[in-house]
Chain A
Amino acid sequence: MTDTLDAVFRREAGRCTATLIRVLGDIDLAEDAVADAFAIAAERWPKRGIPPNPGAWITTTARNRAIDRLRRESTRLDRYVAAQQMHSQDTDPDDTAEREALDRFVDVVPDDQLRLMFLCCHPALAADSQVALTLRLLGGLQTNEIASAFLLPEATIAQRIVRAKRKLRDNHASYRIPDGAELPDRLHAVLTSIYLIYTEGHTDTAGGALTRVELSTEAIRIGRVLAKLMPDEPEAMGLLALMLLSEARRPSRIDAHGSMVRLADQDRSRWNPNLIAEGHGLVRACLRRNQPAPFQIQAAIAAVHTDAPTAAETDWSQIVALYDQLYAIQPNPVIALNRAVAVGALDGPSAGLDALANVELNDYQPYHAARADLLTRAKRIDEAIAAYDCAIELTSNPAGREFLSRQRQRATTNPPRS
């Protein structure tokens, strides 16, 4: 029973909060009301059973609780009047005769979730605040869960969330879906924030995966909602595909001893075929739209990797072509680095090092790791050792350090593979 309530909470909390913010016009009030509603459900559902539409039940109960609370706490006349007006539309969630009205009420919910995504990822908020607010309001995560997921003190996250909510309120941020010319930038902010949540869960910065909330799962869940709500935006589909294809490889990224495994060395039989099939389907749908943009191209690259039955059969020429396309849209050094790695696989380590010649990324661990690998394969061992040392120094998680140390050891003792 408790598990089922938890499942309902995971599925419905964000949706209900999104609707309640619109109905009540206040984030804190909406959050409190949704929490109240789940408390009532925890008490009532074990006795009466789960209602047929638990989301609508929670939303209506939360709304009624919010109105009660407004009445109780209201000292200002306008608040009271607002509560009165809302009360005129009151419904009893347990009354089946009102199911139809309830469903109509719930019908508008999908739009509300979009509104909430755009609000949480408003460009006036710093990126880390966007992420924290998204997880809190859309993911329904508690402050302590978000804090432990990001390995930060709870007070830091609490302050970020409080400050972000206050800023949105003081600045009269509207609860709306951006349109026309502003949509592309605003959507990009939402996509970036979701991907940040995903990668944070995926890379596992400082270890301790067992105690972390499943950020990747949450990011994929929110990504699915977004892709469904914005069917005309291929980038939303591209982001979902990218996350699914990365997630598909997760089981093989860490070996039995907790060490990181490179893509080339991963046991491909452990990749999740369902996620790969779904991701490939989305990539094909993106290609049909023919509106290439960064997330779609990255998803296409992931699709080429997951298409290869063995690492040796990877179609590197297609991957290099995709990186060329990506670099033309986003000429940044990280993409140049990834492109150089692909060139190294296609045309050999010297070509890869040539492609890396103009890339300046001295504080970026993957730069030194990739350079070390190319140098080892080019038999430039002394330079490779120095590059491994730089990479190890910049690595914080134990699995990554352990992996690089092994690679460094191998470069000094074994004859390098060419």
Chain B
Amino acid sequence: MPQYLLSVWHDAEYVVDFSTPEAQDRVAQVGAFNDELQRTGAWVFAAGLHPASSATVVRSSGNRVSMTDGPYAETKEQMGGFWIIEAADLDAALDLAARAAAASGGPIEVRPLQG
């Protein structure tokens, strides 16, 4: 069955304070969505990410390795987390993405995996 990456996006400066009721509510909603993915067999993998400022970019050219501090894409929007799901087709994946967007409160980018 085709697999898709569902990534959730937000502003780079966005910091979650998990002590607030709103954040707790989001966590609960995402948790419920994850449970459902596992129950229906759509689940492959999912994770939330630390802020983009925690990223390091590593490049290899010849036998030299260089590193830069911060995320690769110098954009205001950064990926906050992602799911890998299995779905019958694009419409089924978009349907799951709509629910992921509702649960996480952020826009969801849907991209098919190769192979």
Contacts and interface: CB of A to CB of B under 8 A. Distances in A.
A174 B112 contact: no
Interface string B1-26: 01010000000000000000000000
B74 interface: no
Of the four ranges (under 10, 10 to 19, 20 to 34, 35 or more), the interface on chain B belongs to 10 to 19
A417 B90 CA distance: 58
B77 interface: no
Contacts of B88: 174
B81 to A, nearest CB: 21
Interface string A150-187: 00000000000000000010111110101000100000
Most B C-beta atoms less than 10 A away, residue of A122, A172, A173, A174: A172
A186 B94 CA distance: 13
Interface string A233-265: 000000000000000000000000000000000
Nearest to B114: A170
Interface residues of A, number: 11
A172 B112 contact: yes
Nearest to B94: A124
Interface in B44-89: 88-89
B112 A170 contact: yes
Nearest to A170: B112
Contacts of A124: 90, 94, 110
A408 B94 CA distance: 51
Contacts of B110: 124, 171
Contact of A178 (B2, B4, B91): B91
Interface string B77-115: 000000000001111011000000000000000101000
Contacts of B91: 173-174, 176, 178, 182
B113 to A, nearest CB: 10
Contacts of A178: 91
B2 A172 contact: yes
A170 B89 CA distance: 10
Interface of A: 122, 124, 168, 170-174, 176, 178, 182
Given A124-B94, A171-B90, A172-B112, 20 more contacts: A122-B90, A124-B90, A168-B90, A170-B112, A171-B2, A171-B4, A171-B93, A171-B112, A172-B2, A172-B89, A172-B90, A173-B89, A173-B91, A174-B88, A174-B90, A174-B91, A176-B89, A176-B91, A178-B91, A182-B91
